[in-house]
Amino acid sequence: MTSRTQNAYATSNGAGEISIGADDTLDDDDAFAQLVFHELCHAITEGEAALRQPDWGLDNVPAHTVREHACLRLQAHLAGRFGLRALMAPTTPYRGYYATLPLDPFIDDADAAGCDDAGARARAALQRFEQSSWRAPLEAALSETAAAVAAAHAEAAAHPLGFRLGPAGESCGSCAWLYVGGRGPGVARCRQSAPVNGDGLRTERSYPACARWEAPVDCQACGACCREAYHSVTVSMRDPVVWQEPQLIVRHGARFEIRRDGPRCAALRVDSDAVVPAGRYACTIYDNRPRPCREFEAAGRHCLDARRRVGLSARADA
């Protein structure tokens, strides 16, 4: 049950009622749905016993900061599943914390989060949520919200997923980031709209291209996965590359890696005389490349992440 109040920004009474500040008490960037969603994320993060405590047993004290951080991490993950991470951002002083969370908000990133165990708390909350009766109605509400947002932006954006229009004559069907997947029978989806873990929004091959449209990936004009996007390629001691290419293997205790040449894989050859601006990239041990490289999928989730890291594709928050 929800109600409006003049006496608080957002509060719960421990008896099943959430009260959100009346319109004249909120800032211009506050939204009723976002505030309710944040309170529900607190309830999930704090657990069953917190439902019977006012404000989920939380006070605005330093000792409870880590619990707020855990809530925001869960909030970012759940909203991100539906392309709503930015829209559902907090408008409190914690907005800066939320904005610096890594793409996977469950990773304890010292630069973004300080040194607390918020990531572990958020992961535990997600496990409870996945098994709870809350999951279906909350995900349904988020899905409806995403649909409403897409509808509201469709006329201005001219693309059903909310992005600006892209090159004329192209479509989602000719875009590198269209893929077929999802739970159950696979459907066409947009990888550019996908969170770190989860599926992209549904799309249609006939939709006009958006501003994030890209032609099918040309690995030799990209090389992102072999360049600065990743710091190392770890290989098993049983991987044939260990004895096939010993000059490229570096051992760190029980761990083996492919040697780096500065920021790049030492097996990467760059033809700087090629016509493409960044040169042509080629693997000098392609036939003997290790298993992680063989499993790396062109135009897959990790491919897009690598290209984003080196500035070849639009970032998720751009």
Question: Mean of the pLDDT values across residues 283-294?
Answer: 96
pLDDT, tens digit, 9 for 90 and up, residues 53-83 = 888 888 878 888 899 999 999 999 999 888 8
Residue 48 has a pLDDT of 87
Question: Mean of the pLDDT values across residues 183-198?
Answer: 88
Check pLDDT > 60 for residue 155.
Answer: no
Residue 168 has a pLDDT of 87
Q: How far apart are CA 309 and CA 307, in angstroms?
A: 5
Q: How far apart are CA 234 and CA 80, in angstroms?
A: 29
> Using a CB cutoff of 8 Å and minimum separation of 24, what contacts does 252-259 make?
257/232, 257/233, 258/232, 258/233, 258/290
253: alpha, beta or left? (left if phi > 0; alpha if psi -120 to 50): left
Ordered by start, the domain boundaries in the chain are 2-130, 158-216, 219-309
Nearest one of 121, 134, 114 to 73, comparing CA atoms: 121
Check pLDDT > 80 for residue 261.
Answer: yes
pLDDT, tens digit, 9 for 90 and up, residues 84-134 = 888 888 887 888 888 888 888 887 654 444 456 888 899 999 999 998 998
- Show the tokens assigned to 249: 């293997």
Question: Mean of the pLDDT values across residues 39-61?
Answer: 87
Give yes or no for a contact between 27 and 91, defined as CB atoms under 8 angstroms apart.
Answer: yes
- First vs last C-alpha separation in the chain: 36
In the DSSP assignment, the letter for residue 228 is: T
User: Whole-number mean pLDDT of the chain?
Assistant: 86
Paired strand residues for 265: 260
Question: Mean of the pLDDT values across residues 214-231?
Answer: 92
Instruction: Count CB-CB contacts under 10 A for residue 194.
Output: 21
Residue 43 has a pLDDT of 92
- Show the tokens assigned to 50: 């917190």
pLDDT band (50, 70, 90) for residue 273: low
pTM as predicted: 0.50
Instruction: Collect all residues with Cβ–Cβ distance below 8 Å to 213 and sequence separation of at least 6.
Output: 166, 167, 170, 172, 174, 175, 177
CATH topology of domain 158-216: High-Potential Iron-Sulfur Protein; Chain A (4.10.490)
In the DSSP assignment, the letter for residue 199 is: P
Instruction: Collect all residues with Cβ–Cβ distance below 8 Å to 267 and sequence separation of at least 6.
Output: 226, 245, 248, 258, 283, 284, 285, 289
Helix (H, G, I), strand (E, B) or coil at 12: strand
Residue 306 has a pLDDT of 94
Residue 298 has a pLDDT of 94
Question: Mean of the pLDDT values across residues 39-57?
Answer: 88
Give yes or no for a contact between 9 and 21, defined as CB atoms under 8 angstroms apart.
Answer: yes
| Three-state DSSP string of 133-197 | CCHHHHHHHHHHHHHHHHHHHHHHHCCCCCCCECCCCCEHHHCCCEEEECCCCCEEEEHHHCCCC
The region of weakest confidence among 77-81, 183-187, 218-222, 288-292 is 183-187
